[in-house]
Amino acid sequence: MNIRSMGRVAALMLPLCIACSTAAEKLQTSSPAGLSQPSQTAQTPQTPQLSKQSEAQTTATALAQLRQVPPNGLNSLEASELRYFQTMGPVEYATRLGGVPNSPVWRVRVRLYPDWQNTDFMYRVKVDHYNLSPALYGDLVSSYGADTVDPSLDNTTPHHSIALEFLPIMNVAADWLPDSTYISQSDVSLNPPCGLGTGCASLETPNDSEWGSDTAIKLEAAPWDTENEPLYGAVRVLAKQAGWLQDDWILPGEIPEGISAERPWVEVLVTNYAGNGGGYLAQWIERVADDSIRAQVHQIYTDGTDGSATTGYLCGRGSRAGQISQICP
């Protein structure tokens, strides 16, 4: 399947043909305001010490629900496995911590941006799990009628968000700082813009894109993975395509534009619904300091094992503004 010919995703797929990844982990999170808080009707702790203890317990409970990376701890790794961990950047690390979304049809959004705390340089990463099931279910019901649609798609699992911090240290590309992790959820109807300008919880992809030539790719699993999970493999391939992961995770020669989650260095999107053909569509969107180019975009399509990659530029002005092109005016 040629990713340049995908165009706008139309919900014409029959229910039995939907490409859905089995949720390897169920990420259970807190109230919309953030980490789980005591009920408003509960008795207020009498001392600050009890309040801090309750907060620590809440944080520990939330962190326990993230995946462990690697699953059996660092002490379980052989030398080659440890090397993989050491070179794993914050984008892949954060994606693995979050696990696979707990909904039939989903989009994972990962945003990377820098942070200076005193003299320490840190990576901030925000991982969002968007539930696309309501959008697909609604389109299929509208087209074929409720009696013909797989009822499992009528899923209203909330969107989930995880904010994380990583510190690059000697011989480790990204060391996770668990105490700074913040987990929240939002209503499934939330649909903010992301990526190339479409809704995060929408099925549509931008029209009129002009991509470069395709190159073959193969997903790579971590040495400790017992089964292939396309979400993690797609993120790793994208990092390699973008030049951030060679022998090690490295910053590019020209640091991307970006300072916050709303203006990140890099935004990665992985969707397990790629239209009628099934499979996974993933994009690495890297901000560029250029008047005519808003971002460089690396895109891959994969069936979960093999696939193809291509590159384009998100134009910032002229007749191609907001569209993918090989040449931006």
The predicted pLDDT at position 1 comes to 43
Q: Tokens 């990463």 map to which residue? A: 125
Average pLDDT, the chain: 82
CA 103/CA 133 separation, integer angstroms? 7
Under the banding of pLDDT at 50, 70 and 90, the label for residue 22 is very low
The predicted pLDDT at position 7 comes to 36
The backbone region for 197, taken as left when phi is positive above 0, alpha when psi lies in -120 to 50, beta otherwise, is left
Q: Tokens 């993933």 map to which residue? A: 282
Question: In this predicted structure, which of 45-49, 96-100, 166-170 has the lowest mean pLDDT?
Answer: 45-49
Domain range list for the chain = 52-325
The predicted pLDDT at position 255 comes to 79
Under the banding of pLDDT at 50, 70 and 90, the label for residue 209 is confident
At 54-94, the pLDDT tens digits run: 555 555 655 767 999 999 999 999 999 999 999 999 999 99
Mean pLDDT of the 1-24 span: 35
Mean pLDDT of the 21-38 span: 33
The predicted pLDDT at position 55 comes to 56
Highest mean pLDDT among 50-59, 135-144, 317-326: 135-144
Does 61 or 196 have the greater pLDDT score?
196
Judged by DSSP in three states, 76 sits in: helix
